[in-house]
Structure 1
Amino acid sequence: MTLTKAQIVDNLFAENIFTKAESAQIVETLFEIIKQTLEDGEDVLISGFGKFSVKQKNQRRGRNPQTGDPIQLPPRRVVTFKCSGVLRDRINHGG
């Protein structure tokens, strides 16, 4: 099962600290800050969770999967995620 943004809002609302509208605004603002930071080429480090980084991919040769014809793939930026040791331990050892 996949955790959705709506479920994050519901979980935050369930803590009885914020209204549903406030919870939705907090989540939206958090994701907007993360997106803007990554768009600017900066890393996002969340202690105990992991690090999001923007990496540059060079131009490379590829292949059209339908026709098999060779193509040039343009340079691009991709987001990578490396989880923290704390998260890795929780995933592998159940907490």
Structure 2
Amino acid sequence: MTKSELVSAIAEKGGYTKKDAEKALSAVVDTISETLAKGEKVSIVGFGTFEVRDRAAKESINPATKQPVHCPAKKVPAFKAGKALKEAVDKK
């Protein structure tokens, strides 16, 4: 599902205009992104938890040249599905 398809589905299910659904979706995504950028978690009961995890530095190999490459440590976003979401997906 693309963003435009998601906006259409939100508009249809919620009885909103597509413009209002687009604003709502953008507000949710922006708020989650800003909260994760601060290093905080976002928990939506029944859906899941968005969080930031630390990825350690590592040495890797460039497959084209076979030369070692250093990958620095970084923070990455992660999502853990909630129980209700897992059950909903398993039923279908």
Q: When the two structures are superposed, what TM-score results if normalisation uses the length of structure 2?
A: 0.90
Q: 1:10 aligns to what?
A: 8
4+ long deviations beyond 6 Å:
none
**CA 1:16–1:30: 2 relative to 1, 3 Å:** closer
Which blocks of at least 5 consecutive residues in structure 1 are unaligned? Answer: none
**What value does the CA root-mean-square deviation take over the aligned residues?**
1.3
Aligned to 1:32: 30
Q: Secondary structure at the match of 1:11?
A: helix
- The alignment status of 1:61 with 2:25, answered yes or no, reads no
What one-letter code is carried by the residue in structure 2 that aligns with 1:44?
A: V
Q: SS state of the match for residue 12, structure 1?
A: helix
* 2:26 is the alignment partner of 1:22: no
Q: In the alignment, residue 79 of structure 2 is paired with which amino acid?
A: F
Amino acid at match of 1:78: V
Indicate how the Cα distance of structure 1 residues 15 and 69 shifts in structure 2: closer, same or farther if over 3 A, else same: same
1:26-72: CA deviation from partner (whole Å, max 9, x where unpaired): 11111100111111111111111111110011211111121111111
Greater mean alpha carbon deviation, residues 15-24 or residues 59-68: 15-24
Q: Which runs of 5+ in 2 are unaligned?
A: none
- Aligned mates of 2:86, 2:14 — CA distance in 1: 29
Q: 1:88: Cα distance to partner?
A: 1.2
User: What TM-score does the superposition give when structure 1 sets the normalisation length?
Assistant: 0.87
